[in-house]
Amino acid sequence: MFTLTDDARKSLDAHFQDRELASIRIYLAPGGCSGPRLALAMDEPSDEDTVLAADPYSFCINKDLLDKTGALTVDIHCHGFVIESENPMGGGCGSCGGGCGS
């Protein structure tokens, strides 16, 4: 299952308002003290990817990574996009004492 929240959709709408629509990759980025985290980048899908549709947006993710993450939700919080997974990949946003209120 894949979900793009209304807030994330609005942010993407604003981003692509004056840009050509592009595919968005969900990938595992190295993390700091909280470990690796899921992140977004513009990229075209490959044969090793699954494409997740959230019309008009298209997200791609490596099939093996998707098997590990389970269901995904793309949201936006105070510091940018956040990809939440059924099987968390890292320590989480506030594990270093950071968080939106700091």
Tokens (6 digits) for 35:
């470990």
Q: Pick from 7, 40, 8: which is nearest to 24 by CA?
A: 40
Record: fold of 2-85: Hypothetical Protein Aq_1857; Chain: A; (2.60.300)
Which pLDDT score, from 0 to 100, does residue 90 have? 62
Long-range contacts of 15-24 (CB under 8 A, 24+ apart): 21/56, 21/57, 23/51, 23/58, 23/59, 23/60, 24/57, 24/58, 24/59, 24/60
Where do the structural domains in the chain lie, given as residue ranges? 2-85
pTM of the model: 0.82
The pLDDT tens digits along the chain (102 residues) read 999 999 999 999 999 999 999 999 999 998 777 788 999 999 999 999 999 999 999 999 999 999 999 999 999 998 889 999 998 776 555 444 444 443
